[in-house]
Amino acid sequence: MTEKEGVRLQKVLAEAGIGSRRYCEELIGEGRVTVDGKKVFRFGERVDPQSAVIHVDGKRVQTRAEMRYYAINKPRGVVSTMADERGRKCLADYVDVPERLFHVGRLDTDTEGLILLTNDGELSHRLTHPSYGVPKTYLAEIHGPIPRDLGRRLKAGVTLDDGPAKADRFRVFDQVGKRVLVEITLHEGRKHIVRRLLKEVGFPVQQLARIEFGPIRLGVLKPGTMRALTVHEIGELYKAVGL
């Protein structure tokens, strides 16, 4: 790359949403920016936004303008695909952007909650690959009363028909009469794993929603709506899978 090739680093960072050019210059001057693994201190450094791997404070910054990252709250009864040959409602019915997006993993048709959408193939692959162990948190409604040692049993693990499974975290979120909401976190994504796990210990799930996928939270996002992820959230996703 010659001196006249590429784009000034501070401009690339500003256009990626990190902050103003002046702020980005301060980040560079403080040694908080790396390009392809090397710290950069020179404001005039030029990079190729399409190929450079840039980190700020250790978090990856996506500089490819065509990349898109969204969170969607999948309603109950909607299939987790971008098209359905049987004509059922699917994710595409709620997506209002022109880019072709892929869903990161799936949720059961009867399960609502957080699904990530992106056209970043490498990130999507890592987020769903078992070796990266990205945690996912669910809110499940079950019927109580529940024993005090239920969390311990789930974290110790139970044996399902396709092998052992266990929860990473478990807590009672709310309880009204016999209606109990529990929060359960797992780092695997076998089919119906939360429902099967709770059923195995004697508490079939009545309703289920995913509220977190790695560092991304569902928050107040309403069913059937989507939002773009922030620069910070995208960086956290990259960090979660070692990119």
The residues that are catalytic are: 108
For the record, the structure tokens of 220 come out as 């107040």
* HSE-CB for 114 with a 13 A CA cutoff: 23
Cβ atoms of residues 68 and 101 within 8 Å: yes
* Residues contacting residue 54 through CB under 8 Å, at least 6 positions apart: 9, 12, 13, 16, 33, 34, 35, 47, 60, 61, 63
Q: Which helix (H) or strand (E) holds 227?
A: strand 226-228
Cβ atoms of residues 184 and 199 within 8 Å: no
Alpha-carbon gap, residue 88 to 222, rounded angstroms: 20
